[in-house]
């Protein structure tokens, strides 16, 4: 398996090179040159444990790591998860909820970022090199990325987050990590501002090469690859149905693109329901074909407070028939004009349904789910449950992805069900701990200067 860029300027690179490159050097996103068809082996995977399944699903994409070494790497990735099933599937009303938050930071990002941390360590050790990770977070990616690489030799991590726009607990999860290789950077503005800074710095190819920059955001294909596994896991936990649907709370499109990839691999996944909050650029796109940036609105589901979805380009590449020129032109139009239009909406476009959910609907769904089923959801999962209830087919199982433990969003949960106890010992232990963060201007040159100074001081 080799990899290339959605914009055509990179091709023929190995899996490890794709992982280390992160964002493609031509500004596009890395994708595999082909997608394996796994239908002939699906039945063999139905009884595997989560780590065993993860190794099997991802192995066809890995061309330069010994299979036994890779299996051991994957097993280490899930050793810290707190549930025997890694990701349990629970019946809640007329849907099934897949809990993806039993990792070290209680968010679905752990599924991919524990794996990515192990993968980085393996590749760096094999190459005798170092890596400076630059990431942007709207909440959970930051703490999960930090947990995946804290204290690991040869790695420094710089995480940007919008000041005051993550939940207090999410910020505490990041800023209480005081390891010497961890740098938390608060930026005035929105997540989109942080993401724009990231892409601007990565586009300086000389700086990127000089400081060995790598990505943990879902621009890194390994992140998405690890997330495809839980779609196969859902299918096996459901009893291997001939078809099933999945509702996906999403802001950056990585969580749902992983389902798109699983479907292209041959998983009998019928429909992907895209659930987002008032920041509805993706819902509007699947309704109209118009991808148009709007102002970011801050909400009770902050991980979805995004107007520019970084993984959207991967989907677009496949929707456009893997035409790099067309993909590049679409993204250039969007960059220049703040909008672009997809004319042909046939084919894979039909695999999606989409909708947006208001803050009020989110709180009401959180409350009704607790009242009717005794299940306590976080607000992002509640966005998904609201949409899932509108798309349930009596003859087709519906899975809704649960993206975070509700204790990470105590304010929203208290607003919906104030009498319910909502805590987790992992989060309780953070109270009163020392914190560390650095406020920097939302300016690419200031960010590059900080990274350069940190690298020099670390030597």
Residue 242 among the catalytic residues = no
Alpha helices (H) along 203-245: 205-210, 221-237
Backbone angles phi, psi at 214, to 5 degrees: -130, 165
Both structure tokens of 102: 């039993």
Q: How far is CA 32 from CA 197, 220, 405, in A?
A: 26, 12, 33
Q: Which residues of 374-398 are buried (b: 16+ CB within 10 A; e: fewer)?
A: ebbbbbbbbbbbbbbbebbeeeebb
Q: Which of 169, 104, 174 is nearest to 408 (CA)?
A: 169
The answer to whether 244 and 50 are in contact (CB under 8 A) is no
3-class SS of residue 270: strand
- Alpha-carbon distance of 149 to 122, in angstroms, equals 12
Strand stretches in 9-55, DSSP E: 30-32
The answer to whether 232 and 60 are in contact (CB under 8 A) is no
Q: How many other CB atoms are there within 10 angstroms of residue 326's CB atom?
A: 16
- Alpha-carbon distance of 308 to 338, in angstroms, equals 10
Q: How many other CB atoms are there within 10 angstroms of residue 323's CB atom?
A: 16
3-class SS of residue 316: helix
Burial (CB count <10 Å: 0-12, 13-18, 19+), residue 437: middle
The answer to whether 393 and 369 are in contact (CB under 8 A) is no
Backbone angles phi, psi at 113, to 5 degrees: -80, -25
Burial (CB count <10 Å: 0-12, 13-18, 19+), residue 39: exposed
- What DSSP character marks residue 99? E
Residue of 109, 199, 263, 408 marked active site:
109
Catalytic residues: 109
């Amino acid at each position: 398996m080799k990899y290339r860029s959605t914009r055509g300027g990179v091709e023929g690179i190995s899996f490890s090179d794709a992982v280390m490159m992160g964002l493609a050097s031509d500004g596009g996103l890395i994708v595999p040159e082909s997608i394996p068809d796994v239908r002939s082996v699906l039945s063999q995977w139905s009884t595997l444990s989560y780590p065993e399944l993860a190794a099997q699903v991802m192995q066809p994409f890995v061309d330069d790591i010994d299979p036994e070494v890779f299996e051991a790497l994957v097993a280490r990735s899930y050793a810290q998860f707190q549930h025997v099933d890694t990701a349990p599937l629970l019946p809640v009303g007329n849907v099934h909820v897949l809990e993806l938050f039993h990792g070290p930071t209680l968010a679905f990002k752990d599924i991919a970022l524990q794996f990515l941390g192990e993968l980085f360590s393996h590749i760096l050790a094999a190459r005798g090199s170092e890596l400076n990770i630059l990431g942007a977070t709207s909440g959970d990616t930051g703490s999960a990325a930090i947990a995946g690489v804290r204290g690991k030799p040869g790695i420094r991590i710089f995480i940007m987050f919008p000041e005051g726009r993550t939940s207090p607990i999410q910020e505490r999860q990041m800023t209480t990590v005081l390891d010497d290789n961890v740098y938390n950077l608060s930026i005035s503005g929105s997540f989109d501002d942080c993401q724009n800074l990231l892409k601007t710095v990565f586009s300086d190819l000389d700086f990127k090469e000089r400081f060995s920059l790598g990505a943990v955001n879902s621009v890194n294909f390994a992140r998405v690859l690890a997330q495809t596994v839980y779609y196969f896991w859902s299918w096996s936990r459901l009893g291997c149905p001939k078809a099933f649907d999945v509702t996906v709370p999403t802001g950056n499109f990585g969580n749902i693109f992983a389902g798109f990839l699983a479907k292209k691999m041959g998983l009998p996944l019928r429909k992907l329901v895209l659930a987002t909050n008032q920041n509805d650029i993706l819902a509007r796109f699947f309704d109209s074909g118009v991808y148009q940036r709007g102002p970011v609105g801050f909400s009770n589901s902050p991980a979805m407070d995004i107007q520019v979805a970084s993984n959207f380009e991967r989907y677009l590449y496949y929707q456009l028939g893997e035409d790099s020129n067309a993909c590049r032109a679409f993204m250039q139009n969007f960059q220049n004009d703040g909008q672009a239009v997809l004319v042909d909406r046939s084919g894979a476009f039909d695999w999606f349904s989409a909708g947006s959910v208001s803050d009020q609907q989110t709180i009401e769904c959180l409350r009704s789910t607790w009242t009717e089923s005794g299940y306590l959801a976080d607000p992002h999962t509640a966005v998904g449950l609201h949409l899932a209830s509108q798309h349930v087919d009596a003859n087709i199982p519906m899975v809704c992805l649960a993206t975070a433990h509700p204790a990470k969003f105590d304010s929203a949960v208290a607003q919906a069900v104030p009498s319910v106890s909502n805590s987790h010992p992992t989060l309780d232990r953070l109270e009163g701990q020392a914190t560390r963060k650095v406020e920097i201007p939302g300016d690419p040159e200031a960010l590059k200067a900080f990274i350069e100074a940190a690298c020099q001081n670390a030597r």
